[in-house]
Amino acid sequence: MESNQSNQHNSLLASEADSQRTLYPYVTGTSVVAIKYKDGILMASDMGGSYGSTLRYKSVERIKPVGKHSLLGASGEISDFQEILRYLDELILYDNMWDDGNSLGPKEVHSYLTRVMYNRRNKFNPLWNSLILGGVKNGHKYLGMVSMIGVNFEDDHVATGFGNHLARPILRDEWHENLSFEDGVKLLEKCMRVLLYRDRSAINKLQIAKITEEGVTVSQPYSLKTFWGFSAFQNPTVGAEGSW
């Protein structure tokens, strides 16, 4: 076939044909929000996988534990997230094979992910994700973020996607050191509720994951209570006919 011949011709010039590069994401997850609290890290995300503007999958787990010390949350292309999980699986496996009593902590995994994302971006074939990596090792809490172009940083509270615009202002105002578990969950739920109201790709089914020195717990999916009873919503056009 013509395309095969041209591929062979171009194999020295371009090892991947254009159709094999990631050009746009297909099945995407929306924001993930995470905070440091007294005993470790709390991370929350909803369970929706959107195919463009359709809500295709409603039970996508976008927060997964990595090794013994870390939690990975991702927004963006779900297939790329699954690929990253495979890479991390291999990484943790090789680390365990050393059998030296040492294990990769969150900082190391974050550094690995930054390299992976940045190198893919340099080849113009990015993994279309914004990742949040949180964990605790030897009493040190770590929370970092990597974007799809390799921008990485560490902070006390991070969010991806829409969460940056809607959740971070709330976190900047109300986060403080040594939040208790209940306060941390309440704060995250506040952020997730605002995202539910104002992000069109968010759904009312979320999971909260917690990681402490003892280990990882990912909660069962649950939904938030919403309030729609404002008086202006009851009869919105009573004063202005023709508006909505």
Contacts to other proteins by CB under 8 A: 162, 165-170, 172-173, 190-191, 193-194, 197-198, 230-233, 236-237, 239-240, 243-244
Q: What are 149-152's contacts with CB under 8 Å, separation 24+?
A: 149/117, 149/118, 149/121, 150/114, 150/117, 150/118, 150/119, 150/121, 152/110, 152/113, 152/114, 152/117
Nearer to other proteins, 123 or 172 (CB): 172
Nearer to other proteins, 63 or 166 (CB): 166
CA nearest neighbour of 205 among 25, 35, 49, 53: 49
For the chain, what percentages of helix, strand and coil (3-state, to nearest 5) are there? 35, 25, 40
Cβ-based neighbour number of residue 200 at 10 Å:
9
22 is catalytic: yes
Nearer to other proteins, 68 or 190 (CB): 190
3-state SS record for 87-133 = HHHHHHHHHHHHCCCCCCCHHHHHHHHHHHHHHHHHCCCCCCEEEEE
For 139, the 3-state DSSP assignment is coil
* Least distance between other proteins and beta carbon 230 (Å): 5
* Least distance between other proteins and beta carbon 228 (Å): 12
Give me the phi and psi of 199, to 5 degrees please. Answer: -105, 125
Nearer to other proteins, 81 or 162 (CB): 162
Query: What type of residue sits at position 201?
Result: S
The pairing of beta strand 70-77 with beta strand 32-36? unpaired
Nearer to other proteins, 193 or 205 (CB): 193
Give the residue numbers annotated as catalytic, written as ranges: 22
